[in-house]
Amino acid sequence: MIDFTNTADELASAGCEIAILPIGALEQHGPHLPMCTDYMVAKSVAEAVAKKLNAYLLPTLPISTSYEHKGKKGSVWMRAKTFYSVIQDIVLNLKEQGFSKVVIMLGHGGIFVSTPAIRELNADYPDLRVAKVDFLQFLGVPEMLKTLECRDNLHACEYETSLMLYLAEEMVKKDKIDGADFVPDVPRDFLNYCSIVKLSKTGVWGKPSLGTKEKGEKVFRILVDESIQYIEKIFSQTEGYFD
């Protein structure tokens, strides 16, 4: 694996075929988790994946799209159309420099604009493959269902609290977890109509009280393993599909 702490000459001789761009978010994460939670998760999982795939790991983008956290100071985002261009500019830049495979790894589940952004790139550039891995897509895999008890994991929840207890325990305000559980009585789609801080009095969607460090270690391993399998599947099965 090569990252931005290496020299460009080291990258040139490392034989990395894949570039990985992890994307986080800067948003409120309830009373107990830091605003950099999605950044930490994206960075850590992408690092482990990059090591296994001998990839060029780009620095994690700390800000993306977080309209759904409007109303709580500290949450900062770009407009979707801006971020659409950010993703495409970075990927096309990598392509120009010889990377034909790029993986976008999303530590934040709300970056919906990444889907049309990469779909357009794959359709317009047949010699480029862009894969998108959204960690939330793995919440339904059997191993994850065995590990997590709550079925309403969305934000600052059992899933994210467990991961942060494993990755950066010192950043978790454990004394603030009590009373933070909150599952709004509406579908996730309601985040198109109002901010999460209006739907949940704690800014949480899920049950952080169920989070543990042990679950976090398992969830982390699942995310890494599932991401690698999914990336390999995309690159081995979709070549030429848009020709």
Name the residues that contact Zn ion, by CB under 5 A: 37-38
Q: What are the backbone angles phi and psi of residue 62, rounded to the nearest 5°?
A: -85, -15
Could you tell me which residues come within 8 angstroms of residue 198 by beta carbon, excluding any fewer than 6 positions away? 71
Q: C-beta of 141: minimal distance to Zn ion in Å? A: 19
With CB atoms as reference, the residue minimizing the distance to Zn ion is 38
Residue 105 · residue 49 · CB < 8 Å: yes
Name the residue nearer to Zn ion (CB basis): 128 or 223. 223
Q: C-beta of 159: minimal distance to Zn ion in Å? A: 9
Residue 106 · residue 132 · CB < 8 Å: yes
Name the residue nearer to Zn ion (CB basis): 38 or 68. 38
Burial class (CB in 10 A: 0-12, 13-18, 19+), 137: middle
Name the residue nearer to Zn ion (CB basis): 101 or 108. 108
Name the residue nearer to Zn ion (CB basis): 38 or 134. 38
Name the residue nearer to Zn ion (CB basis): 35 or 87. 35
Q: C-beta of 33: minimal distance to Zn ion in Å? A: 8
Q: Give strand pairing partners of 2.
A: 56
Name the residue nearer to Zn ion (CB basis): 37 or 65. 37
Q: C-beta of 98: minimal distance to Zn ion in Å? A: 33
Q: C-beta of 155: minimal distance to Zn ion in Å? A: 6
Name the residue nearer to Zn ion (CB basis): 38 or 181. 38
The residue type of 237 is: Q
Q: C-beta of 183: minimal distance to Zn ion in Å? A: 16
Q: C-beta of 154: minimal distance to Zn ion in Å? A: 9
